[in-house]
Amino acid sequence: MKLLFDANLSPRLVGRLAELFPGSIHVLDTGLERFTPGEAVWAYARANGSVIVTADSDFLDLAEERGAPPKVVRLENCNYKTSQVESLVRRNAVRIAELERSPRPVLVIRNVA
């Protein structure tokens, strides 16, 4: 499963999580601009078979309106350091991987410290 990290998350997550999610990429590495509209990011993820990982809620509306693909992982209340985001994704790696086979278009992950 390839993840597409949204611009609101650190590009360093790609390398830090490469062994769990090989082939993942950050929006800034796609040729899209930092402030690319959500619909363009959505189209890129769909065309490239990626799951969007974001801290924004705007992709939830797109997922509800259009369904999958792509699927979306929303990191709720994600206003913490990159190392904490990495840890959160690692702790939920199985749930994220299961999303690929799930009929649900969205997985919301809440940080429970």
- pLDDT at 58 (0 to 100): 87
Q: Which two tokens stand for residue 105?
A: 């278009």
- pLDDT at 50 (0 to 100): 96
Contact 111, 73 (CB under 8 A): no
- pLDDT at 49 (0 to 100): 94
- What pTM was estimated for this model as a whole? 0.92
- pLDDT at 30 (0 to 100): 92
Q: Which two tokens stand for residue 79?
A: 């206003």
Question: Tens place of pLDDT for every residue, the chain, 113 residues?
Answer: 999 999 989 999 999 999 999 999 999 999 887 767 888 999 999 999 999 999 988 898 889 888 889 999 999 877 778 999 999 999 999 999 999 899 999 999 987 65
Which residues lie closer than 8 Å to 76 by C-beta, 6 or more apart? 55, 108, 109, 110, 111
